[in-house]
Amino acid sequence: MSDTPPVCDYEGSDYRTRFWENQGRDYEDQVERVALRQMMPPSGGTLIEIGAGFGRLADEYVGYERVVLFDYSRSLLREAQSHLGDDPRFIYVAGNWYEMPFVAGLFDTLVQIRTLHHAADVPALFAQLARIARPGGDYILEFANKQNLKAIARFLTKRQDWSPFAPEPVEFVALNFDFHPRWIQARLQEAGFHPGQMRTVSHFRLGPVKDKLPTGLLVSADSMAQRTGNLWQLSPSVFVHNANPSWGEAAAIGTFFACPTCGVPLGDVDNGRLRCQTPTCKRQWSFTDGLYDFKEPLT
């Protein structure tokens, strides 16, 4: 029986069309981009987006030489491929974020937006990200904040059982978690990251407000309010900039993928397969039509 935590699988979902396209979330999309642009270095060598899905934010990474779009869902990554075309900078990788298929010290910049709320074991995930992070780099993390004004109001009026002030995560729906900012900071520090600037985001995520006021006005107001993130965190979404762990070394030149089972660096693709050469492992992983598939080994 595997000890790997459960993973939320969007395989075959209509997430793009059901949740984003023409669904009245232009405001959320734009304010998240504002926060990302303020925190992420505009250029660099190798970037990974953890939980990239259909590539909603991929156009923000124009300054990077290599961009890995990583997700558990093959079908969402195929949508990203279709949308982004043949840009050679993009590398599409399906896999489990608790078993990252990359060598240590590979990524200058890590970006994770709107996916941590699906993490059943945050410390295990942060440990994996710390391993693949290049010293001196950056990790831009967004998380769902349990200490938001709506949750506080619901708790104080006894319409909600769980306390938004308690530090531990709350699972309000299966594999959907809200987190307390102090708890997230503590787990980041335990993994070796160095939390710094915070930005509070989506202050006006209310249907009646979005319906009555122009999106541009709300985005401008939210952009200003985001700057208070290190003073208080009362919005439903919080961004935190982290310096990567200072220990470890940058990945050796020419290395990239590693066996997610035993951690040994993998060689080049051979006949559509990446092969682990460890005698006790010898697992093989698929590369088909531009998608590296580490979700399950080949039999």
Tell me the domains of the chain and their CATH numbers: 15-256 (3.40.50.150)
Please report which residue ranges of 2-105 form alpha helices under DSSP H. Answer: 15, 26-39, 74-84
Q: Which pLDDT does position 1 carry in this prediction? A: 37
Q: Which pLDDT does position 234 carry in this prediction? A: 97
Give the phi and the psi of residue 204 in degrees, each rounded to 5: -110, 35
Q: Is 85 left (phi over 0), alpha (psi -120 to 50) or beta?
A: left
pTM to 2 decimal places: 0.97
Q: How far apart are the first and last CA of the chain?
A: 18
Residue 195 tokens, joined: 């939390």
- As a whole number, mean pLDDT of residues 105-125 equals 98
C-beta separation of 95 from 205 below 8 A = no
pLDDT at 2 over 90: no
Q: Are strands 273-275 and 284-288 parallel, antiparallel or unpaired?
A: antiparallel
Q: Which pLDDT does position 130 carry in this prediction? A: 98
pLDDT at 3 over 70: yes
Q: Which pLDDT does position 4 carry in this prediction? A: 84
- As a whole number, mean pLDDT of residues 52-76 equals 98
C-beta separation of 147 from 180 below 8 A = yes
Q: Which pLDDT does position 199 carry in this prediction? A: 98
What's the mean pLDDT when you consider all of the chain? 97
